[in-house]
Amino acid sequence: MTLYGIPNCDTVKKARAWLAEQGLDYRFHDFKKAGVPAERLDDWLERFGWETVINRRGTSWRRLPAEERETMDTARAREAALTNPSLIKRPVVEHDGDTLIGFSADDWQETLA
């Protein structure tokens, strides 16, 4: 299992605590230190769409110029996320072919535990 995110993100902290409570082992991939794996990002964008992958409620989204937000599409989202990993909704977890974006204890329980 791989958990992708940023260590100081509150939602990532909740997800990591939940995984620990469940006794589930995982590898943590820090977007800030290790970057965004382009091939994983491409898969997420294809499977879920940029609207799910990009966190449109966060400060990183709000900091984008209005024109960039208004004309966002998959290609622009890819470039933006590779440049600024904080735009990606966190955490992303991959396990046995399943991918979950964002943290929901119920969804994670159903898929991971």
Per-residue model confidence as pLDDT tens digits over 14-59: 999 999 999 999 999 999 999 999 999 999 999 999 999 999 999 9
CB 55 within 8 A of CB 87: yes
Percentages of the chain per state (helix, strand, coil), in multiples of 5: 55, 15, 30
- What pLDDT is recorded for position 113? 78
Measured distance CA(36)–CA(82) in Å, rounded: 6
CATH T-level topology, domain 2-112: Glutaredoxin (3.40.30)
Active site residue 9: yes
pLDDT at residue 83 above 90?
yes
Domain ranges for the chain, please list them: 2-112
Residues 9, 15, 36, 87: which is the catalytic one?
A: 9
d(CA 12, CA 5): 6
Query: What does the alpha-carbon distance between residue 34 and residue 7 come to, in Å, rounded to a whole number?
Result: 12
